[in-house]
């Protein structure tokens, strides 16, 4: 258990809300669209549009852990987990309701089924991968901060994201598509998604630096997770 007293912060609640909003939007709005991009070495890559925005949740994870500590990031991850679980349950209920008659409502129902009618295998894979990857990101970030004595923020951000995104991508694609897609395709898509997401973190590093430094000044906090209970199965700070 941390020896530092729990305190209230000016911006933590706002960051938590922003984190959950990004998470929900990237999973509900962008996840269903497959887009194509041509990259050096990799060539033409098919990716889910949600990955343009989902990595922002990892930026929030880095910021929360760096400024407020692992326990506050863990709390945010559980809030995101609960939000995704509720969205999945609500989607199931709304899609299952018998629509009223008429062409408009029939077309509307078809659209709902297309966008929100994901199989439970995909839903469970998505929520599990997010939970595991985000907590791994926060854990590595916190431990690297202790090992580096608070130095080399860029290394901690990229290193923690590399671990978290690897766990996220591998878990999601194996849980969602193993034995449905060819195994080689599952692996190749997971690898492509991993590099795209991690590359996003590298590109955004200067922005994250500025946000972290600003928050540390405003909150008068630069938390060091010495003595922190790192169990993932806890919501209380």
Residue 214 within a domain: yes
pTM over 0.85: yes
Residue 57 within a domain: yes
DSSP secondary structure letter of residue 52: G
Angle at alpha carbon of residue 220, lines to 214 and 226, rounded to 5°? 110
Q: Which pLDDT score, from 0 to 100, does residue 179 have?
A: 87
Mean pLDDT of the chain: 90
The alpha-carbon radius of gyration of the chain (Å, integer) is: 19
* 37 CB neighbour count, 10 Å cutoff: 12
Nearest partner of 174 among 134, 118, 121, 133, judged by Cα: 121
Q: Which pLDDT score, from 0 to 100, does residue 2 have?
A: 46
* Residue 24, CB-side half-sphere exposure with 13 Å CA sphere: 18
List the single range of 17-21, 37-41, 165-169, 199-203 with lowest mean pLDDT: 37-41
Residue 147 within a domain: yes
Residue 30 within a domain: yes
pLDDT in tens, 45-79: 777 777 788 889 999 999 999 999 999 999 999 99
Residue predicted with more confidence, 161 or 27:
161
Tokens 């997010």 appear where? Answer: 130
Angle at alpha carbon of residue 180, lines to 175 and 184, rounded to 5°? 85
Residue 227 within a domain: no
The Cα-based distances of 137 to 94, 141, 229 in angstroms read: 33, 6, 16
Residue 236 within a domain: no
116-139 burial by CB neighbour count: b if 16+ within 10 A, else e? bebeeebbebbbbbbbbbbbbbbb
Q: Do residues 108 and 99 touch, judged by C-beta distance below 8 A?
A: yes
CATH code of the domain covering residue 214 = 1.10.1760
Q: Which pLDDT score, from 0 to 100, does residue 49 have?
A: 75
Instruction: Round to whole Å and give the CA distance between 123 and 35.
Output: 20
Q: Residue 119 above 80 pLDDT?
A: no
Instruction: Round to whole Å and give the CA distance between 122 and 174.
Output: 10
Q: Residue 11 above 70 pLDDT?
A: yes
Domain extent at residue 56: 12-219
Residue 121 within a domain: yes
Q: Which pLDDT score, from 0 to 100, does residue 31 have?
A: 65
Binned at pLDDT 50, 70 and 90, residue 5 comes out as low
Q: Which pLDDT score, from 0 to 100, does residue 1 have?
A: 44
Domain count within the chain: 1
Residue 169 within a domain: yes
* 60 CB neighbour count, 10 Å cutoff: 24
pLDDT above 90 coverage of the chain, percent: 63
Report the pLDDT averaged over residues 32-43: 76
């Amino acid at each position: 258990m941390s020896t530092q007293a729990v305190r209230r912060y000016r911006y933590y609640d706002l960051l938590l809300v922003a984190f959950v909003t990004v998470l929900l939007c990237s999973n509900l709005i962008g996840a269903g669209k497959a887009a194509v991009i041509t990259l050096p070495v990799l060539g033409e890559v098919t990716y889910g549009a949600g990955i343009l925005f989902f990595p922002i949740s990892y930026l929030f994870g880095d910021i929360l852990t760096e400024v407020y500590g692992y326990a506050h990031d863990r709390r945010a991850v559980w809030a995101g987990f609960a939000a995704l679980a509720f969205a999945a349950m609500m989607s199931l209920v709304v899609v299952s309701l018998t629509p009223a008659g008429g062409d408009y409502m029939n077309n509307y129902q078809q659209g709902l089924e297309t966008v929100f009618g994901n199989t439970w295998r995909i839903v469970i894979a998505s929520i599990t991968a997010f939970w595991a990857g985000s907590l791994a990101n926060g854990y590595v970030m916190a431990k690297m901060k202790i090992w580096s004595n608070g130095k080399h923020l860029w290394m901690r951000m990229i290193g923690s994201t590399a671990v978290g995104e690897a766990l996220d991508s591998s878990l999601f694609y194996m849980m969602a598509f193993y034995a449905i897609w060819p195994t080689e395709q599952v692996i190749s898509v997971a690898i492509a998604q991993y590099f795209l997401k991690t590359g996003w973190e590298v590109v955004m590093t200067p922005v994250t630096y500025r946000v972290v430094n600003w928050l540390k000044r405003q909150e008068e906090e630069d938390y060091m997770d010495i003595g922190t209970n790192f169990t993932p199965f806890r919501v209380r700070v």
